[in-house]
Structure 1
Amino acid sequence: MSIETKLAELGITLPEAPAPAANYVPFVISGNMLFVSGQISALKGKLGADLAVEAGAEAARGCGLALLAQANAALGSLDRVKRVVKLGGFVNSTPEFTDQPEVINGCSNLMVEVFGDRGRHARAAVSAPALPRGVAVEIEAIFEIE
Structure 2
Amino acid sequence: MSGFEAKLADLGVTLPDAPAPAANYVPFVQVGDIVYISGQISNGADGLIIGKLGDTMTTADGAAAAKTCAISLLAQVKAACGGDLDRLVRVVKLTGFVNSTADFTEQPQVINGASDFLVEALGDAGRHSRSAVSAAALPLGVAVEIEGIFQIK
- TM-score of the aligned structures, taking structure 2 as reference length: 0.93
Q: Is residue 84 of structure 1 aligned with residue 95 of structure 2?
A: no
Once residues 72 and 6 of structure 2 are traced to their aligned partners in structure 1, the CA distance between those partners, rounded to angstroms, is: 18
Q: How do residues 10-89 of structure 1 correspond to structure 2 at under 5 angstroms?
A: 10-41=11-42, 42-75=48-81, 76-89=83-96
The Cα shift of 1:10 comes to 1.5
**Which of 93, 113, 119 does residue 106 from structure 1 map onto?**
113
Once residues 138 and 9 of structure 1 are traced to their aligned partners in structure 2, the CA distance between those partners, rounded to angstroms, is: 26
Once the two structures are superposed, residues 5-40 of structure 1 have per-residue CA deviations (whole angstroms, 9 ceiling, x without a partner) of 111122111122111011000011110101100000
Q: Percent identity?
A: 62
Amino acid at match of 2:54: G
Q: Secondary structure at the match of 2:61?
A: helix
Unaligned runs of 5+ in 2: 43-47
Q: Across the two proteins, how many residue pairs are aligned to each other?
A: 146
Once the two structures are superposed, residues 70-122 of structure 1 have per-residue CA deviations (whole angstroms, 9 ceiling, x without a partner) of 11111021111111000000000000000000000010011101110111100
Unaligned runs of 5+ in 1: none
- TM-score of the aligned structures, taking structure 1 as reference length: 0.97
The Cα shift of 1:55 comes to 0.6
Is contact 2:59–2:106 with CA below 8 Å preserved after alignment? yes
Moved more, 74-83 or 134-143: 74-83
